[in-house]
Amino acid sequence: MVVDRKTGNPPMIFVPRAAMSVTGGIQPDILRRCLGQQYRENGLAARLLLTYPPRQPKQWTEADIDPKAETAIAELLDQLYELQPAVGADDELRPVVIGLTPDAKLAWIKFYNAHAQEHAELSGDLSATWSKREGYAARFALVIHFARWAANDPALETTDAVDVASINAGIQLSRWFGHEARRIYAILDEGDESRERRQLVELIQRKGETMTPRKLMRSSRHWAMATEAEAALEDLAKAGYGRWVIPPTSTKGGRPPRIFVLNGIADVDTTPANPSKIDSCVNVDGVSAPADDDWGEL
């Protein structure tokens, strides 16, 4: 990074390897406003690792962090802080180059080629994101390698090179963040109608994947009348996210209320049963991650 001004003290600032890491949380609507087209086009958005975990209700717990775990984490970080850069012939600090074990290199080449093929088929924001994911896989692998080193992992093959376990972990993290990018970009681009459908599906998921109009009214103030709640559920049924089920009549007689049931795990990650009927709905989970024999779960 170079800052060169005619006025100022000093007039020129030169940082040879400028880098900054930022982490935090932000509301989706605020992110949508802040991360506009300008920051997608200049590459800022592609450099962010975005994740949007499903909302979970809070539950009281007496559980606490094990003091032994806290001590182990502190010792691991202390060990990592002890890492020192190399010193060049000119007495300048230089990064330490860490290579790959033979098995790790084979795994990296397989990922590199598969990732390049995926990237070639993308365009726009996802193409920009995929161009950064390759480097992130290597960075994750390096972080994992030294975390294992600092924790004295007995399975670590060598301290001088990243082994296949660390490379595979870095690749899986990169792929997972790529999948999250697909979902989140779709959420950022959705319209009002699409957003309302997605939020309703997420609400039904949190309530056990079934819903009645009366239960929906009790779950959210957004639907004040039974007719409005039933119309919202009917809209989801027509869009293919679920179906109506009529329970059998009880021994007491009477007609039980029909129940809306999501289709399978019909969340925002799942393609609706009849997507042809969807007008403006953005299926943020329907854009599934690329198939790959090495795909794993975190």
Q: Return the pLDDT at 104.
A: 97
Residues 6+ apart with CB under 8 A from 108: 100, 138, 167, 171
Residue 298 lies in a domain: no
Q: Is the pLDDT of residue 200 over 60?
A: yes
Same domain, 17 and 119: yes
Are both 185 and 238 inside the same structural domain? no
Do 13 and 128 sit in the same domain of this protein?
yes
Residue 2, both tokens: 């170079």
Do β-strands 2-4 and 93-94 pair in parallel, antiparallel, or remain unpaired? unpaired
Identify whether 133 is part of a domain: yes
Asked if the structure places residue 185 within a domain, the reply is yes
Structural domain boundaries, residue 106: 1-52+96-189
Supply the CATH number for residue 209's domain: 1.10.10
pLDDT score recorded for residue 58: 84
Taking the C-alpha atoms of residue 173 and residue 253, their distance in angstroms, rounded to an integer, is 55
pLDDT above 70 (res 286): no
Alpha-carbon distance of 235 to 241, in angstroms, equals 9
pLDDT-based confidence at residue 279 (cuts at 50, 70, 90): very low
Do 201 and 135 sit in the same domain of this protein? no
Q: What pLDDT, on a 0 to 100 scale, did the predictor assign at position 17?
A: 77
Which stretch of DSSP H or E encloses residue 130? helix 124-150
Question: Phi/psi at 262 (nearest 5 deg)?
Answer: -65, 150
Residue 248 in this model has a pLDDT that exceeds 90: no
Average pLDDT over residues 156-162: 94
DSSP state letters, 74-88: HHHHHHHHT---EE-
Q: What is the mean pLDDT of residues 223-249?
A: 86
Residues 114 and 253 in one domain: no
Same domain, 268 and 133: no
Q: What are phi and psi of 259, to 5 degrees?
A: -120, 135
Number of domains in the chain: 2
Identify whether 272 is part of a domain.
Answer: yes
* Pairwise pLDDT comparison (60 vs 191), residue with the higher score: 60
pLDDT for 144 = 97
Is residue 293 one of the residues assigned to a domain?
no
pTM: 0.68
Asked if residue 9 is part of any domain, the answer here is: yes
Six-digit token pair at 273?
Answer: 């049963």
